[in-house]
Amino acid sequence: MGMKESITRATNLLEFNIDDCSLKEFTTSYFHSSTTKCSKAHKLSSHAERQILDILESNMKPLYLDSKVKWSLDQKRDEMTFHNMRFLVCAERSSNQIVGFSTFMFDEEDGEAVLYLYELQVRGKNRKQGIATHLMSLVEDIALTTGMSHVVLTVFLKNTVAMSMYVKRGYKPHYPDRGIYCDEIMSRSCQ
């Protein structure tokens, strides 16, 4: 199967159960009261979209302002509504409060079909509870299940907590000779 066919196949597989695809439940006691669902942007409620944008702005705006990259909430909102963008949203069952989310797309990178992780965000008060690890595991499982060659992501170098997590999970610079920037493109093989 060719690269473009792999991307189309992966996109269609997730399209099949996208509305209420309950992928996995957390196993720790905290997470028995939460759920993780897969969705497309146009299926998110306006309340969920607002929560996601609030988490994104709270977490990322300081990193953008501390870099040479311009922060734009409108640009982030537009990015989230790309046609094939998918969301994994982790929310508390009782309050429907979003505690974390990831966004990803199936794409082409260097002639290979990849899952490109755009965002992995956890609400500040919900950090250090395994949410980011859970979302990363789901993203990696989706990439493997759909036949992608790699998971690819971009991370700010000053985001040392995220960098550390990715390195521990086996991510390496995707373009080792890229030069010095404020961010790093990292990847991990799905094979």
* Structural domains in the chain plus CATH codes: 3-189 (3.40.630.30)
Q: Which residues are within 8 A (CB) of 64 and not within 5 positions of it... i.e. 6 or more apart?
A: 70, 71
Residue with tokens 């759909």: 146
Residue 181 neighbours by CB distance under 10 Å: 14
pLDDT along the chain (191 residues), means of 10: 70 49 38 70 87 94 85 88 87 87 91 94 91 90 90 90 93 74 86 76
- Please report, for residues 50, 66, 76, 156, the alpha-carbon distance to residue 70 in angstroms, rounded to integers and kept in the order given: 21, 9, 11, 13
Measured distance CA(153)–CA(163) in Å, rounded = 11
Q: Which residues are within 8 A (CB) of 164 and not within 5 positions of it... i.e. 6 or more apart?
A: none
Rounded to two decimals, what is the model's pTM?
0.84
pLDDT at 19: 34
CA angle 151/157/162 to nearest 5° reads 55
* Crossing angle between the packed helical segments 160-168 and 131-145, to the nearest 10 degrees: 50
